[in-house]
Amino acid sequence: MNTSHQLPPEMAPSKYIEKVSLVTGETLDDEIRPDQLLVHGHRDYHIVDVHARFMMSRIVNATGDEEEARDRMKRMRSLGRRTSRVLARMIGEQNPEKVSKALFGLKDKEYYFRYRKHHLPRQEIEKRIDGLRHAAEERLGEISSDGRPHLRVLLTGGTGFVGKEILWQAAHNDNIEEVVVLIRPKNIHDRKTGELLEVITPEQRGKKLLEQLWLDGPEERCKFRFLAGDVEKPNLGISEDEVAGLEKTITHVIHCAASVAFDDPYEDAFRANVTGSLNALRFSHALQNVDGGRFVAHLAIETSYIHGRQTKQLAREDEILFPRNFYNNYYELTKAMASIDTERFMLEKDLRVVQLCPAIVIGESKAGNNRGDTKVVNAPVNIFGRAGAALADKKGSWIDRSKASALARLACVFPGDPSAQINLITVDRVVAGILAALERPGATGRRIHLATDKHITSLHIRDIVREELGVDVKLAEPTLHRALTLPLLTRVLKRLRQERLAYALKKLGTIFGGYSEWGQPVHEVGRDARLLGLSEDRPDTVHAFRMLCRHNHRVQQFGAVRDLDEISRRERIWWEFVLALEAKHDSAAGAIPAEVFRREFAARIDPASFEPV
């Protein structure tokens, strides 16, 4: 999609990224369009290239050797280019690249992209970070008494998946005395007519939120304050009177609000993720410069996928490079741009910042509770679960059942390379890292991955889904699936008037397929333990994914239970059930075999009412 003609200048990617000639090493003045920066802008447009990737994926599966696959890909491309040169000569074509592009889908790249960054020497950067760290240490000392810091936090994104866990853990952290949560009003529209039915105020949203988080006791309530605002507006949309009050009290800003939609258009992603982040940085910068203020640091919640499709190299914590294999979507790209802005504020304006970069976040590690989140990994699990239920359904005529069963089988094709490593991390671990950063001045100036070293592969996921949900997922080679099978499948489904399923499968294939191809980036970890003091024993991802399946099945019925009050009630019962089970079996719930877990659940909870029996 070419969006360049409509882009306002402040959204131009060239503010962050430059195009450099591979021939001369000079910066090129060409316009950079957002779609040029995505993986799909470079691939999947030619049948031969798609097949080559398919073959490579086979080699990775057979040998487990990604390096060998890359070498072969290079050799095949070089053979393609040589053949094109010979053919061009034979047919009298002056430009062999035209032939190689038409026949093999090979494009000769004469440029590469890189981030426009400061050109400070490493030593100078370290000196500045040292200064910021010392200042943070001093400020933390000033707001400490009785041997502990007295923290007052302004939080954006408190109604989101990660934000809710921040509220939960903050409620149980004695060093945090106040959390001011920035919330925008919520407009409720009629689904059919689009008519505005109701506006829920930030105060009403906040009250509901605390009830749903089981934090509505008088003591808990008085720790939280809800403030109207919008991160896309200057000064975060906070009224002047309120700003005057916050300037004197706030010790930290945690900027967690974002749009985490992998299919957002560039402009929407930019407004939420880049403009929103810039407004938060400006707000913190103003707080830092107030005489007599108590500001310690700004915590930017980013993602370890700011490294995009960085293959071969380890995605390092201390540096962000434009990824060799580009970005999966505008979400990743705009989060990376926000990270560049955060670095600029730190190095050019001396703002004390900590950049915290979670990997793919899933429900909490013990029970899988996620407070109603249905994003990211939950989406395919819920589709598989619903497909499994359709396959097991014995109601209806033989024809109806056959049709439902055929459709359900289609829904169980997942674009995933068996060897693809998927970086999942539980929300409780992520938030433990975020709250630790409030009290760790040593983290100032650093980018810290809140990721895992216990990777799970597509194959693990397929096997766990089979054991837990009884669903046989077929892994399809992602490139082939996206480029050939999926377009065909969606056309057939639309003819059969299965638009919803067609839409869900298309979304699954195009949005998540990118995360399950071979050659996924490996995100370095270590600073979470060294700088934040978290345990080096990171959550067991296999157990956590198992609990995600069990939770989504029983608590959320694969997305069918959507009412957040009901989910809150169920998650409380589920939590108690998991605690009792762990005590009985003297084992983590995720380690209890599927069959035993099923029996225990059936004996203790009535699935219809979701009440203990």
CA–CA separation, 69 and 59 (whole Å): 6
Identify which of 300, 210, 303 has the alpha carbon closest to the alpha carbon of residue 252.
300
Quick one: which of 376, 381, 431, 542 contacts ligand NAP (CB under 6 A)? Answer: 376
Please work out the total of residues on this chain that contact ligand NAP, with binding judged by CB under 6 A: 28
| Cα atoms found within 13 Å of the Cα of residue 397, Cβ hemisphere only | 3
518 binds ligand NAP (CB under 6 A): no
Binding mask 96-125 for ligand NAP (x = CB under 6 A): ------------------------------
Here's the x/- map for ligand NAP, 155-184, by CB under 6 A: it reads as -xxxxxxxx--------------------x
Task: Tell whether residue 360 is a contact of ligand NAP (CB under 6 A).
Answer: yes
Residue 311 interacts with ligand NAP (CB under 6 A)?
no
Q: Determine the interface stretch with ligand NAP among 152-160, 192-200, 280-288, 570-578 (rule: CB under 6 A).
A: 152-160
Under DSSP, the state recorded for 38 is B
- Between residues 375 and 530, which has the closer beta carbon with respect to ligand NAP? 375
Q: Check binding of 361 to ligand NAP (CB under 6 A).
A: yes
Main-chain dihedrals φ then ψ at residue 421, nearest 5 degrees: -90, 130
Of the two residues 56 and 435, which places its CB atom closer to ligand NAP in the complex? 435
> Which of 389, 543, 551 has its CA nearest to residue 471?
389
378: contact with ligand NAP by CB under 6 A: no
Nearer to ligand NAP by Cβ, of 255 and 352: the residue is 255
Token representation of residue 580: 């009792």
Residues in 477-506 that interact with ligand NAP by CB under 6 A = none
Label residue 385 exposed, middle or buried (CB < 10 Å: 0-12, 13-18, 19+). buried
Kindly state the smallest distance separating residue 565's Cβ from ligand NAP, in Å: 16
Identify residue 307 by its one-letter amino acid code: H
CA 181 to chain centre: 22
- Of the candidate spans 71-79, 104-112, 254-262, 497-505, the one that interacts with ligand NAP by CB under 6 A turns out to be 254-262
Q: Which backbone phi and psi does 309 adopt, to 5 degrees?
A: -85, 70
Distance of CA 511 to the CA centre of its chain: 12
Asked if residue 448 binds ligand NAP (CB under 6 A), the reply is no
How does DSSP assign 465-517, residue by residue? Answer: HHHHH---PEEE-HHHIIIIIHHHHHHHHHHTT-HHHHHHHHHIIIIIGGGGS
Q: Which of 155, 176, 257, 508 binds ligand NAP (CB under 6 A)?
A: 257
Least separation in angstroms between residue 202's CB and ligand NAP is: 9
Pick the piece of the chain touching ligand NAP (CB under 6 A) from 80-88, 117-125, 358-366, 535-543: 358-366
- Could you give the CA distance from residue 291 to residue 220 in angstroms, rounded to a whole number? 31
Q: Interface with ligand NAP by CB under 6 A: which residues?
A: 156-163, 184, 186, 230-232, 256-260, 272, 276, 301, 303, 335, 358, 360-361, 375-376
